[in-house]
Structures are given as C-alpha cells and as structure tokens.
Structure 1
C-alpha cells in the first residue's frame, strides 16, 4: 500500500531537514548533489553527479534506503554495497523517518558517505 498524504508530507519535511544539513555547498552542486525518491514503501537517498565519460548526463546512484514495515510500525534501514546489493545497516530499525535520516547523517560506520 502506498503512503498517504500525511506520510508523504512527513517524509518530505524530514528530507528537507536532512538536506539542509548534509547537502554540498551550492557552488559544487553541479558536481555532487543528493535527492530522494519514493518507491512503494521505501524511501531511497540518491547521489547525483555527472557521468565521468559523458559529463552532460547525470548519474543517480542510491546509497541509503528505508523500507516501512507497516505491520510492525518501523523502518528497516539499508545501505548500498559496492556490489550494488542492499544490505541491512548495523542499526537496521528506525521508529520514525526522522530517525532514519539521523542514522544516515551520523554514518557511524562510513557506509553511506564513505
């Protein structure tokens, strides 16, 4: 089941707060930026940068994901491994979407931002 309007607003507000703190400075955003997308019951954070072999094309690479488990009322947290598979993060449960963004922002294991 897709998110309702209240959930979407909550996600949008949490993402805006996260990006305000962690987004690159404006003068380099043409080379590196972040955005999010919603797919089903998941919220993915994406790294956006020009392709190395074709700088006019933008490349979007997911690096963090939270999937909402409605039956248990929590978010499962994942990070994208080098082999392009999603793996559960060490702290793999978040009670709220804000908690998910806090986990990604802290990045205690260096999985999200390297």
Structure 2
C-alpha cells in the first residue's frame, strides 16, 4: 500500500477512536477505545479493566477492517461471541474505509456496540 494511503487510514482510525472516547478522563480509566494497525488490517477495541480484577486491562476487539490489495477495497468484520470474525452483512465492503467506519457507528444490527 502506498505510504500516503497508510497515513490516511491511520489518521481516519485515530479520529474515529478519538470520537468514541469518553470526554471525562475519569471514565477513560474504566472504558476507552483504541486500535491497532499492521499496514493491512485494523483492529478496533474497547479498553477496559477485567470485571473481577480491576488492575488487569483488557483490549476487547469489536471490529476489523482489512484491506484487499487485489480488490483495492476494504472489508468490514465483526466479532461473534464465539470469538470468530465474520464478514459484516450487506455493507461489508467499500473502497472508502470511512464508509465502513460510519457503518460501525450506525450499527443497525447491534454487532459492534451492544
């Protein structure tokens, strides 16, 4: 992937997670949002403490965006309760990752934020 495309998606992911983050710093200690990016796949996750061990911090993945070089498009996945990733319904692919990030916010099927 071209360097400017990589920089663009990193910026989009950073803006997306920043928009999700609670404004109150005290709440961020209990719930926050982040992402990881390896150059082709982005994992979006909640950052929260383990319910029975508050000092243990968990990254709970809820969405995955994967870039296909062959198709020059992005695919959106959601994580089932079984822990397996599944391609997201009818709005699962786009050439524009912002369209998929918008779909995560809309979440019409309750796959990402329940």
| TM-score range for the pair, normalised by the shorter chain length | 0.7 to 0.9
Aligned partners of 2:34 and 2:45 also within 8 Å:
yes
Does the 8 A contact of 1:22 with 1:105 survive in 2? Answer: no
**Residue segments in structure 2 that go unaligned for 5+ positions in a row:** none
Any idea what SS the aligned residue of 1:36 has? strand
Following superposition, the deviation at residue 4 of structure 1 comes to 4.4
> Normalised by the size of structure 1, how large is the TM-score?
0.88
Matched-pair contact (CA < 8 Å) for 2:92–2:100: no
Q: How many residues align?
A: 112
- The match for 1:68 is 67
1:1-114 matched pairs, under 5 angstroms? 3-26=1-24, 27-39=26-38, 41-90=40-89, 91-114=91-114
1:24-80 CA-to-partner distances (Å, cap 9, x unmatched) read 232311111110001352111011101112111210111100110111111111000
Contact 1:18 1:105 in 2 (8 A): no
CA RMSD of aligned residues (A): 1.6
Deviates more, 1:64-73 or 1:38-47: 38-47
Question: In the aligned structure 2, how far is the partner of 1:5 from the partner of 1:58?
Answer: 32
After TM superposition, where is structure 1 displaced by more than 3 Å over at least 4 residues in a row?
A: none
Contact 2:49 2:56 in 1 (8 A): yes
